[in-house]
Structure 1
Amino acid sequence: MERVENKRKVYNFRKLIVNIAGDIIKIVLGIILFILSIASIVYTCKLCDTDTLWEFTFYNKDNIFKYVIIIIGMIVMYKIYIVLKRNNKIIKYKSQYGKKIDIYKLLICMHCILGIGWVVCTQLTPRADQGFCSAIAANLFSATYDKADFLKGGYLNQYPFQSGIILVFKIIYSLFGINNYIAFQILNVVSVVLIDIYLMKVLKKITPVHAEKIGILFLILFFPMVFYTSFLYGNLMGCAFSTMAMYYEFEYFENHKVCNMILSTVFIGIALMIKSNYLIVLLAMLIFLGIDWIISLKKKNIIFAVIVICSYIIATSGPVKLLSIQENVYLGKGIPKIAWIAMGMQETGMAPGWYNGYNADTYLNNDCDSEKTAEEAQKYIRERMTYFAENPIYTIKFYTKKMLSQWCEPTFGGIWINQFEKNVTISRYLDSILNGGKLQKIVIEVLDVLQSFVYWLAFLYVITNRKRKNIFIWFPGTVFIGGFLFHMIWEGKGQYAFTYFLLLIPYAAIEAKMIVNYLTNKADEKYGK
C-alpha cells in the first residue's frame, strides 16, 4: 500500500512539473504576443537607405483606422453571407469531373511558382557576408588561391562558424558551376516549399482542426518568404531543416520510434551546419525531450538528447575542422560570442543593437586575440549594464526601439536585401516594389496588416487554449520565445526574426479557422446548412 502511495506522489509531482512548465510557456508567450500585437498597430517601421549600404530603421506611427475599416469590412462580408444563407443563395461549387480541387496543393504550387519567378526576375548577386562566403567557396576551386581569408585577420579567422555555409556553397558550385547563384536560389525556393509542407504538418500535430489552407494562404501572403529566395545565405535552408526536425520530434513524442529520432537529429544537425542560429530550435527540442521524459519515462529520450547534443558538436565544429584539414590551415576560435552581446547593447545610428562592426573592430584592435576581445567585451557589458540600471527610462526606450525595429518592420528586411546589384535590368513592376514605388506601398500595407493579424490571432490562440493539457502544442511557441529573447540580447536584425515569425502562423491559422467555424456554425444553426 505504501509503495502505491509513493508511486502516486511521484506521478503527481511529475504532473506538477509539466503543468508548471506549460504555464510558464503560456504566460511568457502570451505577454510577448500581447506586447507585439499592440506595438504592431501603433508602429510600422521601415528599412531603407541603400546609398550607405546600411539598414537604417525609421519609426512611423501606424494608422489604426485602417484596422477598424478592415474589421468593419469583415463584419459586412459576414452579414452578406448571413443574408445569402437566409435566402438560400449560397452555391457550393463542384468540379464537372466530380472531383474536388486540392486547394492545399494548388497553393503550395503557387508559392513555388512565385519563388521561381522572383529568382529569375531579380537575379540578385551576393554581397556582405553572403558575398564573402560565396567568394571563399569559389576561391577554394582555384589553384592560385592565397588563402588570405584563413589567415590572421581574414574573414574565416574572424568568423570560423561560417565554415558550414561555405561548404554548402562549395557543394552547390561543384555540382552546378562556380558562382551559379541561381542554383542556390532555386534551392531556396525548394526550402520555401519544404517550409510550407512541414509547417502545416506541425499545424496538424497541434490541432485536429483543418486549418492548413488558411495557413498556406498566410504563408503566401507573407511575401518575405519569396523575397528571401534571392538571398544567398542559410536563412531559408536552415529554417526548412529545423522545421523538419521539429516535425519529426513531434512524431517521436507520439510513437517513440527510433526512425523519427534519427530524422529529427539529422535535420537539426544540417540546419545548425548551415546557420548556427538554429541552436535555439535545438534547445527547445531538448526542453521538450525532457518534458516528454518526465511524462513517459522513456529511456530513449536520454539517448535522443545525447545524439542531439552530438549533432550540435559535429555540425558546428565539423565544417571548421574539415576546412582546416582540406586547406592545411588553422582556424582558431575567432571573434568570441560575447562580442555580439556587447554589440547588441549599443546605439548604432541605424537601430539600437543592430550590427555596427564593433565585434570585428574589437577583435582586430586586440591583434585577433579571442581572450583579450572577450575581456574587453565583458568590461563594456558591465559598464553598459550599470548605465542601463542608472537610466531606466533610456533602457526602456532602447529595448523598445530594438524590439520594434525587428518585429514591427513588416518586410523583415526582405525588400532591403533585394535592392543591390543584379545580373539583369529589372522590370518596372519589380522596380516599383524594390525602389519605393506604388507597388512597394501596397506590399508594405498588406504585410503590415498580415503581421498585426498574425500577432493578434496567435495571442487569441494562447488565450483560448490556455487550459489545454497537451503541453507539446507549445513547442513552436517555445522556439519563438527563444528567438525573441535571444535577439533582444544578441545582435538585432529583421532577417533573423522572420524565421521565428513563421512559427506563429500555425497558431494564427488555427485561431482564424476556429473563428470562421464559430461564425458559420452560428449561421447554419439559424438558417440551416
Structure 2
Amino acid sequence: MNKTTQENTHLKIEDIFNRFITLLAALIVTCLGIAALFHTIIFPLDYSEKPTNSLKYSIAGTVGFFILAGAAYYTGKHLKFKRLPSLKTFYRIQTYTALFIGLTWLSIATTSPVADQGTSITLSIWLQNNDLGNLHANDYLQQYPFQSGYILFCTLMGQLFGMNNMLPIRLFNLLMIIVSLKTLCKITERMFKNDAVTKATIVLSTAFLPLILFATFIYGNIPSLAFCLLACLLQMAAIQASDDIRKRLAYGTLSAACLFVALWFKPNSLIFLIGIELIWLVILFAHKRVLVITFIILGAVAYIAASAIPIFLMESRINVPLDNPTPKRLGLPWAYKSLATVRQDGTTIML
C-alpha cells in the first residue's frame, strides 16, 4: 500500500468517524430538545426540593419556542449579515452586555449562600481559622473529598479578601462566565468559519440569561466550564497548527493544563477530558502523529494530579485521611448530615 492510498484510507476513516459523531450528537440533542419542549420541571416556592411537572410552563415554553423559531427563521432569510457590524464589534457588545447584566444582578442578589454553597464557605472559614475541632467533627470532607479543590479555592479567596466576603467569588464567577461565552463563540468561529453563524451564536449565547445569572452560585461549576471550553479551543488550535510543531506542542500542553484546572474546580469535568482524549486517539489512529501520544499522556496526568493534589493538601491541613469517600458516580446528594448557612452578619448556623 503506497503513501497516497494510506492517506486516502485515513481520510475515509476520519470522515466516517466525524459523520458518526455528528449523527450521534444530533440524535442526543434532538431527544433532549423534544423532552425540554414538552416537559418542564419546576421547584416549588417552599424550597422542598421535590421537583414537579408544570403543564402551564410546558405550554408557555412550547408556544414561546415556535414564536422564537419563526422569528429566527424570518430573520435569517431576510437579514443581511454582511451589513451588520464586524465580529470584533459583536464580541465587544457581548462582553459589555454580559458585564452590565451580571453586575446589575450581583448588586441585587446579595443573599447569603446556603446548602452546598454554605457548606463550602463554612469549611473554608474553618480552614482559615485552623478550626480543627469543627473540621474533625463534620464528616463532609470525609464523604466528599473530591470537593477539596473548590473549598481550598474558597479558602484562598477568604484569605485575600476577607472571610464571609462573597462578592469577590461572585465577580470571579462573572469573569468565568464571560470567558465561557467568548470561548464558545471562538470555537464556533473556528469550526464553521462563517461570520453569520458566529454572530448568531454570539447573540444566542448572550441572550441565555440563566448562565449570566448563575454568577451568584458559589460552586465549582462555572470556572470548571470555562476552563473545559478553553481546553477544547486549545485542542482545536493544536490540531489546526499541524505544520508548526512548536505551536502544536504549546497548544496541546495548555489544553491539558486547562483540563487540570477544570478538574480541580469540579471533578465532573472528567466528561470533557474523556471527549478530548477520544479525539486525540482518533487523530493518532488516522494520521499516525506521534506527538499526539504526548497529549494523551498529559491528559491522563492532568486527571491524576487534579484528583490527588487537592485531597493531599486537604489531608495535610486537617490531619485526617480522606480515604472513605462517597463514589463520584453517585453525585452530590441534595441533603447532607450537616448543612451550613452563612448569615449577612458573618455568623454561621449548622443545621
> TM-score normalised to the size of structure 1?
0.57
In 1, distance between residues paired with 2:88 and 2:260? 37
The separation in 1 between residues aligned to 2:198 and 2:71, in whole angstroms, is 24
What corresponds to 1:62 in structure 2?
Answer: 59
CA change 1:77–1:232 in 2 (3 A) is: closer
Structure 1 residues 120-135: aligned runs within 5 Å: 120-135=107-122
CA distance in structure 2 between the partners assigned to 1:73 and 1:339 by the alignment: 42
Count of residues in correspondence between the two structures: 332
- Separation (CA, whole Å) in 2 of partners of 1:204 and 1:100: 10
Shift of 1:148: 3.9
**Preserved CA contact (<8 Å) 1:157 1:334:** yes
Please identify the structure whose Cα radius of gyration is greater: 1
C-alpha distance in structure 2 between counterparts of 1:336 and 1:169, whole Å: 23
In the alignment, which residue of structure 1 is the partner of 2:163?
Answer: 178
Percent identical across equivalent pairs?
22
- Residue 45 of structure 2 is matched in structure 1 by 49
User: Does the CA-based 8 Å contact 2:94-2:202 persist in structure 1?
Assistant: yes
1:91-150 CA distance string (max 9 Å, x none) = x799xxxx999233022111112111111211132111221111111111214x134434
The change in CA–CA distance for 1:38 and 1:179 in structure 2 (over 3 A counts) is same
Q: Is the contact made by 2:118 and 2:342 (CA closer than 8 Å) also made in structure 1?
A: no
* Aligned-partner SS, 2:129: coil
Distance 2:4 2:160 in 1: 60
Higher RCO by CA contacts (8 Å cutoff, separation 6 or greater)? 1
Amino acid at match of 1:226: I
Supply the distance in 2 between the matched residues of 1:305 and 1:279 (Cα, whole angstroms): 14
Where structure 1 has 5 or more consecutive residues not aligned to the other structure, the ranges are 86-91, 341-353, 362-419, 425-529
Residue 321 of structure 1: CA displacement? 0.4
CA distance in 1, matches of 2:314, 2:69: 55
What secondary structure does 1:28 align onto? helix
Matches within 5 A, 1:235-250: 235-250=221-236
Task: Tell me if 1:290 matches 2:281.
Answer: yes
Asked if structure 1 preserves the Cα contact closer than 8 Å seen for 2:161 and 2:168, the reply is yes
The separation in 1 between residues aligned to 2:88 and 2:309, in whole angstroms, is 46
- The question of 1:322 aligning with 2:307 is answered no
* Counterpart in the other structure of 1:254: 240
1:205 counterpart residue number: 190
Q: Match for 2:19 among 6, 23, 26? A: 23
Per the alignment, residue 102 of structure 2 pairs with 115
Structure 1: how far apart are the matches of 2:88 and 2:291? 42
The alignment yields a C-alpha RMSD, in angstroms, of 3.2
In 2, are the aligned partners of 1:18 and 1:294 still within 8 Å (CA)?
A: no
Aligned to 1:462: none
Aligned to 1:304: 295
Distance 2:155 2:189 in 1: 37
Output the CA distance in 2 between the equivalents of 1:187 and 1:304.
Answer: 29
Q: Which residue of 1 aligns with 2:271?
A: 280
Post-superposition shift, 1:333?
A: 3.5
**2:122–2:342 Cα contact (<8 Å) kept:** no
Structure 2: distance between partners of 1:199 and 1:229: 17
Question: 1:68 Cα deviation (Å)?
Answer: 4.8
**Secondary structure, counterpart of 2:52 in structure 1:** strand
Task: Give the direction of change, closer, same or farther, for the CA distance of 1:27–1:150 in structure 2 (3 Å limit).
Answer: farther
1:216 aligns with 2:202: yes
Indicate how the Cα distance of structure 1 residues 77 and 422 shifts in structure 2: closer, same or farther if over 3 A, else same.
Answer: farther
Distance of aligned partners of 1:73 and 1:161 in 2 relative to their CA distance in 1, 3 Å threshold = closer
> What's the CA shift for 1:198?
1.2
**Match of residue 168, structure 1, among 150, 153, 165:** 153
SS for the counterpart of 2:128 is coil
* Secondary structure of the structure 1 residue equivalent to 2:41: strand
Do the aligned residues in 2 keep the contact of 1:269 with 1:312 (CA within 8 Å)? yes
1:221 Cα deviation after fit:
1.4
Shift of 1:248: 0.6
Q: Distance in 2 between matches of 1:325 and 1:421?
A: 26
CA distance in 2, matches of 1:58, 1:332: 39
Q: Kindly state the Cα deviation for residue 332 of structure 1 after the two structures are TM-superposed.
A: 0.9
Greater Cα offset, 246-255 or 205-214: 205-214
Structure 2: runs of 5 or more not aligned? 243-247, 346-351
